[in-house]
């Protein structure tokens, strides 16, 4: 046994702290970017499409490269990839803090997503090699708690930074935290590799990334230029072509990036529905609500961040509640009940006055957070327990991809739907000379009431608020429908206990010794915003 492996857990605390620091900055990159969007738009300008890419560019590259990053970590070294990722993240964060235009900022955000995937995949895989047994479980529990803290208080921290300095301070904080993480790992973390690693599935990675990129681009551009525009049609057809190519590549590959044969297990299919449901009843709200609170309700960034704590704070406690309740109730029943509660919260929130910032929005957000917290706390463990143990690593890889990529796609779709609903509502008002309803609808979907008013001269502020309220109410119905259907599917596929799940090791690695990078990407919430 090497000296490194014989160290006590206490001696490895700096390594754990370093990975936790890296993990802490990921929720800030996601939710902080959403809180900063109005301030960025006011400073750098840019239309709704360009502002949408502030969040979507990060999520797109993060989600599409996480699986590939895990394979690279196994082949070239977990510590090496973690350090490369955290250095790149710190440098890109510094560049973002001085970005001169919205175009440059969007491009840098895409690069930041790649860096975040490398840091997360390398860091969590390295952590799994440093700790064993119960120490490993405690380490990953602390890491999961770190994500929860970042999720719950990221918007508030972003608001404080914007109020005290400006939006550039959010990205500069990423540089500072990244450097601290780097200092803690440079000499203490040991290098490790998988001797059986076969390298990256280049064809699979390329077709998958192209599919996500083309689809997201088409959906984001459609509200501005129209769904029938040749650019949008070409992008969506290209995405469909890349999807077919990806399936063909993966089914013919000896070592595919994603083993699609796992979808033959009904319970595994049910697990993939869980992150889809939480995307539409919870994750999209982390982006939509800051825009609503700041742009429509007229709150400052700090007040908006405080309000969002009601939505995200339950994530600190509900996963623990779920892990206790699952001893008596099947995971599918708990998840279905939680999603049903979240659907009620969405109905409640959809009928609240968009200008309200009090108990009328706090209570429904609390209900949504509590309800979503039940499946959120169970789905990572389920991802490895519903398939044979020898296939647990690939199962978590597929779940990881479904979760992270699904969030980026959900954000693009929901933004487009809200813009379309706002346009339909505004189009019902008798048009006046000089109106640009399409642009105004996009502005309104971003919560930019002033921008919408400038494009709709003569329309009162109360009429614009009413248009947003109606559009958001109709959007909530769409989100409720997706959530309820998902809950029913989950009840059917996961409503009964699975004896195999009870045999799975508590750390989610099925008791098979040191885990590969692809096996641990979701053990602590692979999307980085748990």
Burial 271-295 (b: 16+ CB within 10 A, else e): bbbbbbbbbbbbbbbbbbbbbbbbb
Q: What is the pTM of this model?
A: 0.81
Domain 1-185 - what CATH class? mainly alpha
Q: Which ranges of 392-448 would DSSP assign to H, the alpha helix?
A: 392-427, 437-445
Residue 220 is encoded by which pair of tokens?
A: 């984001």
3, with CB counted inside 10 A (0-12, 13-18, 19+), is: exposed
Q: What's the maximum distance between 2 C-alpha atoms anywhere in the chain?
A: 79
| Domain range list for the chain | 1-185, 202-256
> How many CA atoms are closer than 13 Å to the CA of 255, on its beta-carbon side?
10
164, with CB counted inside 10 A (0-12, 13-18, 19+), is: exposed
Q: Are 486 and 360 in contact (CB under 8 A)?
A: no
From first to last of the 530 residues of the chain, give the pLDDT tens digit. Answer: 344 444 445 557 777 888 888 777 777 777 777 788 888 888 888 888 788 888 888 888 887 787 778 778 777 788 888 889 999 999 999 999 999 999 999 999 999 988 988 888 888 777 777 777 677 667 766 776 777 777 778 788 888 888 888 889 888 888 988 888 888 776 777 777 666 656 667 788 788 888 888 888 888 888 777 888 899 999 999 999 999 998 898 888 777 767 777 777 788 888 888 888 999 999 899 889 988 998 888 888 888 888 988 998 898 888 888 878 888 888 889 999 999 999 999 999 999 988 887 899 999 999 999 999 888 878 776 766 666 655 555 666 677 777 777 888 888 889 889 988 988 888 777 666 556 778 888 888 888 888 788 788 777 778 888 888 899 999 999 999 999 999 999 998 887 765 554 444 444 443 333 444 444 444 444 343 33
Angle at 320 between CA 316 and CA 321, to 5 degrees: 110
Q: Are 485 and 273 in contact (CB under 8 A)?
A: no
> How many CA atoms are closer than 13 Å to the CA of 46, on its beta-carbon side?
23
From 312, 324, 311, 310, select the one nearest 378 (Cα to Cα). 324
């Amino acid at each position: 046994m090497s000296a490194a492996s014989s160290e006590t857990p206490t001696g490895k605390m700096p390594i754990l702290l370093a990975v936790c620091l890296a993990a802490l900055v990921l929720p800030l990159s996601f939710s902080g970017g959403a809180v900063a969007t109005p301030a960025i738009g006011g400073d750098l300008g840019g239309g709704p499409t360009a502002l949408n890419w502030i969040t979507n560019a990060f999520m797109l590259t993060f989600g599409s490269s996480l699986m590939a990053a895990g394979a690279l970590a196994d082949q070239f070294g977990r510590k090496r990839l973690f350090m490369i990722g955290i250095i790149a993240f710190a440098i890109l964060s510094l560049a973002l803090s001085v970005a001169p235009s919205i175009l440059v900022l969007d491009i840098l955000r895409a690069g930041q997503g790649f860096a975040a995937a490398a840091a997360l995949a390398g860091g969590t895989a390295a952590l799994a090699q440093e700790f064993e047994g119960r120490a490993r479980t405690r380490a990953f529990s602390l890491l999961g708690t770190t994500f929860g803290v970042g999720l719950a208080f990221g918007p508030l921290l972003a608001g404080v930074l914007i109020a005290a300095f400006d939006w550039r301070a959010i990205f500069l904080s990423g540089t500072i935290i990244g450097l601290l993480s780097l200092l803690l790992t440079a000499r203490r973390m040991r290098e490790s590799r998988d001797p059986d690693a076969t390298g990256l599935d280049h064809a699979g990675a390329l077709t998958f990334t192209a599919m996500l990129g083309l689809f997201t681009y088409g959906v984001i551009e459609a509200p501005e230029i129209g769904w029938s525009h040749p650019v949008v049609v070409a992008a969506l057809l290209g995405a469909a072509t890349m999807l077919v190519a990806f399936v063909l590549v993966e089914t013919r590959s000896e070592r595919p990036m994603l083993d699609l044969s796992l979808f033959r297990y009904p319970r595994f299919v049910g697990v993939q529905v869980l992150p889809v449901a939480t995307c539409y009843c919870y994750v999209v709200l982390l982006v939509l609500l800051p825009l609503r609170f700041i742009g429509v309700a007229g709150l400052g960034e700090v007040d908006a961040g405080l309000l969002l704590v009601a939505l995200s704070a339950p994530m600190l406690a509900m996963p623990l509640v779920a892990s206790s309740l699952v001893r008596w109730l099947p995971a599918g029943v708990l998840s279905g009940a939680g999603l049903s509660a979240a659907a009620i919260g969405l109905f409640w929130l959809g009928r609240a006055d968009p200008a309200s910032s009090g108990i009328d929005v706090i209570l429904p957000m609390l209900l949504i957070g509590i309800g979503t917290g039940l499946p959120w706390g169970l789905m990572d463990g389920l991802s490895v327990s519903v398939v044979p143990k020898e296939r647990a690593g690939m199962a978590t890889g597929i779940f990881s991809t479904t979760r992270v990529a699904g969030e980026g796609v959900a954000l693009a779709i929901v933004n487009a739907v809200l813009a379309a609903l706002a346009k339909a509502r505004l189009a019902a008002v008798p048009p006046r000379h000089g109106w640009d309803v399409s642009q105004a609808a996009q502005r309104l979907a971003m919560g930019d009431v002033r921008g919408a008013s400038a494009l709709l001269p003569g329309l009162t502020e109360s009429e614009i608020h009413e248009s947003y309220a109606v559009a958001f109410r109709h959007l909530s119905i769409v989100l409720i429908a997706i959530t309820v259907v998902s809950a029913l599917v989950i009840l059917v596929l996961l409503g009964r206990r699975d004896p195999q799940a009870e045999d799975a090791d508590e750390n989610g690695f099925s008791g098979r010794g040191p885990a590969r990078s692809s096996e641990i990407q979701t053990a602590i919430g692979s999307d980085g915003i748990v």
